[in-house]
């Protein structure tokens, strides 16, 4: 037996040796993984340079504000009082055969656009009387919907000339501003007047269908602004109750973690017994169903293959198979419970010890706020940089024939450049009167613009690296603090002052390189996964069965690799926080230590996961149910401070509370989970380093020592 243990020890490294000077996270350290630290700093510097270049060349107004036909923004500058853009003829967005229609981005289409104060609210079409000679254009058109360069009061142009040049619209329908664009309302198109018809479209219904087809899927979002306003009103009237719900979630999470100190054993055994009971009920139900169909002569072979799987539930062989599978699962669970009961007790003791550690270091529960703020900064910087990069380059304009049905306009193919502010359409008269200078795209011919794709890739890589570094910093900081708790011989007297602050300073001063190293490895794997997802999305239609299978296998392999690296990094950061060694040595030592105790690792991991899953379910489910009953009006307050009837969508605050409760519970439980993992590694090291003698006393709690039938010869205070 001793020989076998010795071989196992040599296979996964030598056990940790006793060090009389070791009493917790060491203080005499040196900087680790300096090269990776320098590389990370250089990457951050490059990231800042990319952000500054994007800020210099980019213009987010291209995305935030719509443009009129002359390229001017609506809602700012000279058009500050005109926030929406109005399209003269939306039918051309779908029916035009001009080749430039496909190249125009956003909601651009080959028709004149003008900035307006308010979108039209009624049906209007030009009266046939307007074509009578000597009729004045000002009597038929509205100045606010015509191009600003045209003065209806003084123009000598006829109505026909104005229409040919698209200086004023021929018709408009009731529209709503959606993201600054005047789009027709679906509801209003259902109420179109019978006399509202356009040339070439004989009936009003066909006119409405043509307008719907022209605006496509965008028209379905015409109520977006109205819905957004209603949602905002719901937040405005219920925000304080939402905060109360989130506060309840925080208190429940904190209470659950503190109660684990006294009720961990009860909760764990209840969950385990409950799992066994559920499987046992499944066995009984399968037997009951099998007994009901035992006289049936229909077999699975008679049914063959069918997509209606409910048919298989009418066959006794199906329930017999379920019965056998569940019986095997139940037997395995019982055997595991019998043979691993001692390790389950160790896991429970560690969970209780973790709850005690958290109670001594309540400041650790606040640290997720620091991580959250840093992550918000990373996400905001990435989003702003991506936006500025996407809008880099000056806008390009091309001469486009607005009326492509005119034969003489066929020579205008949209390749001629133009300046919308100085464009003179008279050069194309009289052959093609309906030409305009329209925005096409952003210039991509400069050195900076040609490398926009590479810069966006760098933006993503740097973003992932920064995010993973922030998470690594949080894990290393918490690990150092909780390790200080474990290696304090007499608790809480020997716990150092401000252990969390000390651990945070140690991590930043000595181990930025090691944390960046682990974050870089994880970043590369995540980036490969993103590339695989992108390739799968782009080439899915062209892939055959074999290619899809290979792609699925690759995605699955890299998903597993990412999970393994996260697990390895987490334990490596714990070893870095305790011993101050570089990433590779720490990862190796942590991996070998875990492999020497693989059964304990699996048991602790699964018991902890089960417990924290139950905790999240309790917090999120409890707060969610309470929010549902409150915001739906089923719980009424004695006063009139809040009435559910005043909400437009009562599910808005409910979803907000549920999502917020999950994030709060996840933040609290992530600290607790890190505490469990740290104390577990310290516990394993304690077993290897010490033997309970006067020279080598155990640092573990008395409860753990009693489970392992060990004791210290030196009195220990817990």
Q: Is the pLDDT of residue 569 over 90?
A: yes
Q: What is the dihedral of CA 494, 605, 375, 662, to 10 degrees?
A: -110
Reported as type and span, the H/E element at residue 181 is: strand 181-184
Structure tokens at 607: 């018991």
pLDDT in tens, 501-519: 999 999 999 999 999 999 9
**Pick from 92, 84, 97: which is nearest to 108 by CA?**
92
Of the given ranges (34-38, 528-532, 603-607, 669-673), which has the lowest mean pLDDT?
603-607
- Contact (CB, 8 A) for 361 and 485: yes
pLDDT in tens, 108-139: 566 788 899 988 888 888 888 888 887 888 88
Here the tokens at position 646 are 């005043």
Q: Chain-centre distance of CA 281, in angstroms?
A: 38
How does residue 469 score in pLDDT terms, banded at 50, 70 and 90? Answer: very high
The beta strands (E) that lie in 321-445 are given as 395-401, 435-442
Per-residue pLDDT, 225: 47
For residues 282 and 607, which has the higher predicted lDDT (pLDDT)?
282
Give the pLDDT score at 493: 79
Residue-wise pLDDT tens digits, 62-110: 767 787 877 778 888 888 888 888 888 777 665 443 333 333 344 456 6
pLDDT of residue 396: 72
Please state, in angstroms and rounded to a whole number, the distance separating the CA atoms of residues 145 and 25.
73
What mean pLDDT do residues 409-433 have? 65
d(CA 327, CA 337): 15
Give dist(CA 100, CA 412) in Å, integer. Answer: 10
- pLDDT greater at residue 169 or residue 128: 169
Q: Tell me the CA distances in angstroms from 144 to 87, 118, 137, 152, one per residue in order.
A: 13, 9, 13, 10
**H helical segments located in 632-718:** 651-689, 702-707
Q: Where is 150: in which H helix or E strand?
A: none
Say how far apart CA 218 and CA 66 lie, in whole Å. Answer: 15
The 10s digit of each residue's pLDDT in 604-619 is 777 777 777 888 888 8
**Torsions phi, psi of 198, nearest 5?**
-115, 160
Report d(CA 279, CA 327) in Å as an integer: 8
Radius of gyration of the chain (CA): 35
Q: What is the dihedral of CA 429, 432, 434, 440, to 10 degrees?
A: -110
Q: Note the pLDDT of residue 664.
A: 85
3 state DSSP class of 449: helix
CA distance 462 to 469: 10
Most confident of 123-132, 575-584, 657-666: 575-584
Residue (of 153, 102, 145) closest to 125 by Cα position? 145
pLDDT tens-digit profile of 344-396? Answer: 888 888 888 888 888 888 888 888 888 888 998 999 999 889 888 877 766 67
Judged against a pLDDT cut of 60, whether residue 218 lies above it is answered with no
The sign of the CA dihedral 312, 317, 323, 328 is negative
Q: What is the spatial distance between Cα 116 and Cα 121, in angstroms, rounded to a whole number? A: 12
Indicate the pTM of the whole model.
0.74
Helix axes 583-595, 598-631, angle to 10 degrees: 100
The closest alpha carbon to 66, from 358, 395, 389, belongs to 395
- DSSP type of residue 223: T
pLDDT at 198: 67
């Amino acid at each position: 037996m001793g020989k076998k243990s010795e071989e196992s020890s040599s296979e996964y490294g030598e056990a940790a040796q006793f060090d009389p000077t070791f009493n917790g996270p060491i203080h005499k350290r040196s900087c680790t993984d300096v090269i990776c630290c320098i590389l990370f700093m250089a990457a951050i510097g490059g990231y800042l340079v990319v952000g500054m270049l994007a800020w210099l060349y980019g213009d987010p107004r291209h995305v935030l504000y719509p443009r009129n036909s002359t390229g001017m923004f609506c809602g700012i500058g000279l058009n500050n009082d005109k926030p929406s853009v109005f399209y003269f003829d939306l039918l051309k967005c779908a029916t035009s055969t001009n080749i430039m229609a496909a190249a125009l981005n956003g909601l651009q289409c080959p028709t004149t656009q003008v900035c307006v104060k308010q979108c039209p609210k009624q049906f209007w079409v030009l009266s046939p009387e307007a074509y009578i000679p000597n009729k004045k254009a000002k009597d038929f058109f509205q100045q606010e919907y015509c191009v600003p360069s045209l003065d209806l009061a003084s123009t000598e142009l006829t109505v026909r000339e104005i229409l040919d040049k698209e200086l004023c619209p021929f018709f408009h329908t009731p529209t709503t501003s959606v993201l600054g664009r005047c789009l027709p309302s679906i509801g209003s198109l259902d109420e179109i007047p019978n006399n509202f018809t356009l040339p070439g479209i004989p009936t009003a219904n066909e006119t409405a269908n043509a307008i719907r087809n022209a605006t496509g899927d965008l028209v379905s979002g015409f109520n977006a602004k109205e819905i957004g306003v209603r949602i905002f009103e719901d937040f405005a009237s219920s925000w304080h109750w939402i905060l109360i719900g989130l506060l309840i979630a925080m208190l429940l999470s904190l209470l659950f973690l503190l109660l684990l100190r006294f009720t961990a054993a009860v909760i764990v055994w209840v969950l385990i017994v409950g799992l066994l009971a559920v499987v046992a009920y499944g066995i009984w139900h399968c037997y009951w169903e099998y007994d009901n169909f035992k006289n049936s002569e229909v077999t699975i072979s008679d049914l063959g293959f069918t997509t209606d799987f409910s048919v298989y539930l009418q066959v006794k062989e199906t329930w017999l198979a379920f019965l056998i599978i569940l019986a095997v699962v139940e037997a395995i669970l019982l055997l595991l419970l019998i043979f691993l009961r001692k390790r389950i007790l160790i896991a429970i003791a560690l969970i209780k010890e973790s709850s005690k550690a958290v109670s001594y270091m309540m400041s650790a529960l606040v640290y997720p706020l620091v991580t959250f703020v840093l992550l918000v900064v990373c996400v905001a910087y990435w989003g702003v940089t991506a936006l500025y990069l996407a809008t880099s380059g000056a806008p390009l304009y091309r001469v486009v024939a607005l009326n492509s049905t005119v034969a003489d306009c066929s020579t205008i193919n949209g390749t001629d450049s133009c300046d919308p502010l100085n464009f003179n359409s008279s050069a194309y008269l009289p052959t093609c009167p309906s030409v305009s200078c329209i925005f096409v795209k952003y210039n991509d011919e400069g050195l900076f613009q040609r490398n926009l794709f590479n810069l966006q890739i760098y933006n993503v890589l740097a973003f992932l690296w920064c995010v993973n570094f922030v998470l690594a910093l949080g894990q290393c900081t918490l690990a150092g603090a909780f390790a200080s708790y474990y290696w304090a011989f007499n608790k809480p007297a020997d716990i150092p002052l401000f252990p969390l602050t000390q651990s945070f300073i140690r991590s930043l001063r000595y181990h930025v390189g090691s944390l960046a190293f682990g974050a870089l490895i994880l970043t590369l794997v995540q980036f490969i996964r993103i590339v695989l997802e992108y390739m799968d999305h782009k080439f899915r239609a062209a892939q055959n069965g074999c290619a899809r299978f290979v792609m699925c296998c690759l995605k699955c392999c890299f998903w597993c690799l990412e999970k393994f690296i996260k697990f390895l990094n987490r334990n490596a950061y714990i070893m870095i926080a305790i011993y101050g060694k570089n990433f590779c040595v720490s990862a190796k030592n942590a991996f070998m230590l875990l492999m020497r105790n693989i059964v304990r690792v699996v048991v602790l991991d699964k018991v902890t996961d089960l417990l924290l899953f139950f905790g999240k379910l309790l917090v999120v489910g409890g707060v969610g149910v309470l929010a549902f009953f409150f915001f739906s009006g089923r719980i009424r307050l004695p006063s009139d401070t809040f009435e559910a009837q005043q909400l437009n969508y009562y599910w808005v605050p409910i979803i907000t509370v549920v999502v917020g409760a999950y994030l709060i519970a996840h933040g609290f439980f992530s600290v607790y989970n890190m505490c469990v993992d740290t104390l577990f590694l310290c516990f394993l090291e304690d077993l290897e380093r010490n033997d309970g003698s006067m020279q080598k006393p155990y640092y573990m709690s008395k409860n753990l020592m009693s489970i392992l039938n060990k004791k210290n010869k030196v009195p220990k205070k817990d």
